[in-house]
A and B are shown apart, each in its own frame.
Chain A
Amino acid sequence: MVDFAIHTQNLIKDYGKFRALDDVSITVAKGEFVSLLGPNGAGKTSFLEVCEGIREATSGIVQILGKTWKNSEDELRRRIGLSFQDTRFQDRVTVWETLELFGAFFGLPKARILEVMVEVQLSEKQDTYVMNLSGGQRQRLAIATAILHKPELLFLDEPTTGLDPTSRREIWSLLQKLKSQGMTMILTTHYMDEAEALCERIIFMHKGKVYKDGKLKDLVKEAGKQSLEELFLSLTGSALETQN
């Protein structure tokens, strides 16, 4: 019985001469809600993409739900969910048609689609074209396509970027509900309040390395800061100083 959702060891990812991930070892237990934080270029998206099986690691170990992408791609595709930043669905199809298509990929019954539409609060919009949805509704649709098949592990890449505060709160509420259902989630975000509100564990990345990893409260307390934002600024500031 594997008790971790993600396990990476000495993970390296190079893009030509640029090292995006440098000896990254992270383990995420099942049921955890983890936030990856760091400035642009820190390696967050590269880490997610390697874990999501979208990119291959240059070297190191990557195990997702105890499996490797090389040996169990089909199985993993059915057990994980991906929600990308800025996905644009086809404009002139309805919410229902979009979910129906993604449901069909997993062979799901219509009842499950109806259930998810209620969960993401898009039931009233089921016959609305995607192009007529608001930004928040589109993002909820994106999350809906990612959770249709009840994944055990959900990757969320900046799910609230560009959304208004109300839409962000709606997404948070949805993610908290998923968390209460026991779903393991890993989130990248630039919003400190988001990480603070949703995640119990924070991983700071910088220059492709894990800079800090721990419980939110412990990290803030240890650094003697008042908030995660203060901690982030102090960490990224000191990291930059170290480099210079």
Chain B
Amino acid sequence: MNELKVFWLFLVFLLKETYREPAVIFWAFIFPLIISGVLGLAFGSSKEFSAKAAWVSDSPPPQVAGVTWVICKEKEVIRKLQRGEVLLVAYSEKSGQLILKFDSSNPEANLASNIIENSIHRSAKLENPSVITIPIKTPGSRYIDFLIPGMVAFGIMNACLWGIGSNLIEMRTKKLLIRFYATPFSKNAFFLSFLGIRLLNVVLESLFLIVFSNLVFGVEFTGSWPGLGLLILSGLLCFGGMSILLGSRTAKTQVGYGLINAVSFPMMLCSGIFFSNQGFPEWIQPVVQAFPLSILADSTRSLFLESFSLQDILPQSAILIVIGTVALIFGRYFFRWI
């Protein structure tokens, strides 16, 4: 009986301790609503499936509910697939057959193919309404080719936000920062050490991923290696600066981790890492494309798949460097050791 009472008292104690922290209310209740809203906007704005598909024939494309045709030329198709702008490519043969090409490992592309196939069979508007599906196996056009560059970018973001931001908060919580403050250790040296160790980690992680994906999946890196180096540095500065800003003041892990999640989670979902962000409505595209992770992932993808040179990625690198520098300046200004 007493144990039950202790259990109950402790439970209430924990409950009070937890919910007396205002941040918990936000992270536990409001934040999931925001994320649900964003996801709903991206994937649930209509009850029907919606996909973009490339149409490369001169004849008009068939009407298929849920499929938006992007009329394009043959030479544009690979680029659009690589960038995730379309899920599949379709064209009609002179015989009337409809050819669908897509990466069969991509579930969304499979679903779009099934919808088109079913619709064609039902309507039978084409002279000979048979549909032939051809899986794309060419390196550069598969889901894995889309995924790996995104994962490189995602790795840079994660290494910084969690490796620097959460470390700062933890060290402040453990009163280790105040120990550093009691010495002549400068803020600049302190931040540079963090960025330096993350640079080493990020380079190793990226190389590991590139080599692994090449050996196992045949993912090829076709662009400029110095360009990749510059992108890694720019990404590190960008997310490193953001991490220092995020970890600049709070001494509460719940608040700090919540802040990091608030920044990283939307970018993870909306920056086209695991799936194309083309599914978002047009009006929100400028916002989504302006996310630092979107910029980094798209540039990395261009280096991997479109043979971009060092010069080609200079503008994107410059944007990341500017974001990082501004965040670093504010982070350094707001930073406190206790």
Interface, chain A (partner B; CB < 8 A): 52, 54, 74, 77-78, 80-82, 84, 86-90, 102, 105-106, 142, 145-146
Contacts and interface: CB of A to CB of B under 8 A. Distances in A.
A54 B178 contact: yes
A87 B176 contact: yes
A86 B175 contact: yes
A62 to B, nearest CB: 16
A74 B184 contact: yes
Given A87-B175, A105-B180, 7 more contacts: A82-B179, A84-B179, A87-B176, A88-B174, A89-B176, A106-B183, A106-B184
B184 A81 contact: no
B284 interface: no
Contacts of B13: none
B183 A77 contact: yes
A92 to B, nearest CB: 13
Contact of A88 (B175, B182, B337): B175
Interface in B305-338: 337-338
Nearest to A105: B183
A82 B176 contact: no
A52 B182 contact: yes
A6 B55 CA distance: 81
Interface of B: 174-176, 178-185, 337-338
Contacts of B179: 82, 84, 87, 89, 102, 142, 145
Contacts of A89: 174, 176, 179
Contacts of B338: 54
Nearest to B182: A82
A226 to B, nearest CB: 37
A97 to B, nearest CB: 14
Contacts of B181: 54
B175 A105 contact: no
A90 B181 CA distance: 16
A86 to B, nearest CB: 6
Contacts of A105: 180, 183-185
A145 B181 CA distance: 12
B175 A102 contact: no
Contacts of A145: 179
A84 B184 contact: no
Contacts of A102: 179, 183
B317 to A, nearest CB: 33
11 contacts: A52-B182, A77-B182, A81-B182, A86-B175, A87-B175, A88-B176, A105-B180, A105-B183, A106-B184, A145-B179, A146-B182
A145 B175 CA distance: 14
